[in-house]
Amino acid sequence: MSLSLPLTTIEECLYWQDRPAYPWSWFARLEFSGCLDRTAFERAVATGLPRHPLLTAKVGTVGRRQLQWFSVDDPQPIIRWETGPVGDPAPPATHLDLEREIGIRFHVRTDTTASELIIQFHHACCDGLGGILFIEDLLLAYALACGDPPDQLKFRPLDPHRLHDRGRLGLSFPALLRMAPQQLVGVLRGRQFLTRRPVPLVPHQACPNDDNPPNSYPTTLCYLFDEETTMRGRRAAQRLGVTLNDLLIGDLFLALAQWRSRQNIGNDGDWLRMVIPMNLRRADARSLSAANMVGNAFLDRRGRDFADPARLLRSIHKEMALVKRWHLGLAFIFLANAYRWLPGGLEKSIRADRCISSCMLTNVGKPFGRLPLSDRQGRLVAGNVTLENIGFIPPTSPYSCVSVCLTMFARRLGFTMHYDPRPLSAGQAADLLDTYVRRIRDSIAAPP
């Protein structure tokens, strides 16, 4: 598909969020038993990428600074191959500049019995669900390239021309009118967003935009619960009348508050703001190729909110239910559209030197639920390799030095914590991760 499309409001936000010191990329990390075959993998990339035009485009400027996607003839993504032990730490990456290259890179590490694939996505090109859609195609194409029976492996039908309507988020004008009363609630929440001043987890000054990212970028810590603990977590959430995601949001808030108290940081009047990305796709979006259709919910809590964990959890459950029922993730888009008309536009507002949020928590749920490659343990078998685990590394931004991504794969709950090692030491990050794990275990073990 020949591409020449203006960036949507969401994409423009994420484009300006990106800068060398704080790359706005996210990563998928896939761990395999078995060694990825180089020829089959590169053939799979060549098969899967053309199905997702935004992953094979660059960004340029037309007219009066209007940002636009442009197709690249014969796109050749960077694919790095490395032989050696797989596992932590993740291989270091660099800033991905959409004006110079397409928005995806690959890094493969193999040893004698295992492989690891790291995929770097520019966030303006796609969100987590869009990236998962591409990874599904990649795994199917790899299985076919390895000789798996083609009659059992069918690609999901995609219509690349639907990218022209992605900015509408599946909403007609009458639908927007019907939602207007609900979005008044979003406007009130926007007022809170503008008037409250969240604090970073650790007081610090952000780096200049044109600095390089840390040498260890992305700097991560991971944790994987066993099947029994994961099941008990689901039952605990059900018993409490909340979702598992609500429970994990509340536990992260409590972990942050406990950790800051131990570190003698801040006071009870400090607002901690957690960004929760919200999927804005409608039911008819299954034929849409990889794109970014995400809004944000912002949850603010401070000292007195952490005194009663049960009350905190109930408030989070009510707020998240309201966000979902009234589609308040759209309020973020409406607010960004308003900023477009102010002097300096989105670039000035997004790159202002202030703390927008204290941290991010995103949940990709259970990826690959419809992929016809699963074994009895919930893993995926493609050709000569088995996907044993997958994790996602969300981006960090100035003053928001921690981002956490939750994943459910092969019946096990896991999470990856991406942290900025400039304001946060390795010891502090490890202590924060341990605090979060303990909070989750305590919530699961608590009596009714």
pLDDT by residue (tens digit) across 378-394? 889 999 999 999 999 99
List, in order of start, the domains of the chain with CATH numbers.
4-149 (3.30.559.10), 172-364+399-445 (3.30.559.30)
Give the list of residues 6+ apart from residue 229 with CB closer than 8 angstroms, or none. 413, 441, 444
Pairing assessment for the beta strands 66-71 and 114-122 based on DSSP bridges: unpaired
Residue 278 phi/psi, 5-degree rounding, is -125, 130
pLDDT category at 326 given cuts 50, 70, 90 is confident
Write down the pLDDT at residue 195. Answer: 83
Write down the pLDDT at residue 25. Answer: 98
pLDDT category at 333 given cuts 50, 70, 90 is confident
DSSP string, 361-396: EEE--STTTT-TTB-TTS-EEETTEEEEEEEEE---
What percent of the chain shows pLDDT beyond 90? 74
Pick left, alpha or beta for residue 119 (phi over 0 → left; psi -120 to 50 → alpha; otherwise beta): beta
Write down the pLDDT at residue 330. Answer: 82
Mean pLDDT, rounded, of the chain: 91
Contact yes or no for 127/284 (Cβ under 8 A): no
Q: Apex CA 251: angle with CA 391 and CA 401, to 5°?
A: 60
pLDDT category at 34 given cuts 50, 70, 90 is very high
Write down the pLDDT at residue 191. Answer: 67
Rounded mean pLDDT, 169-194: 62
pLDDT category at 418 given cuts 50, 70, 90 is very high
**Number of neighbours of residue 79 by Cβ within 10 angstroms:** 14
Q: Specify the pTM.
A: 0.95
Query: Dmax over Cα atoms in the chain, in whole Å?
Result: 62
Write down the pLDDT at residue 4. Answer: 84
Write down the pLDDT at residue 282. Answer: 82
Write down the pLDDT at residue 420. Answer: 98
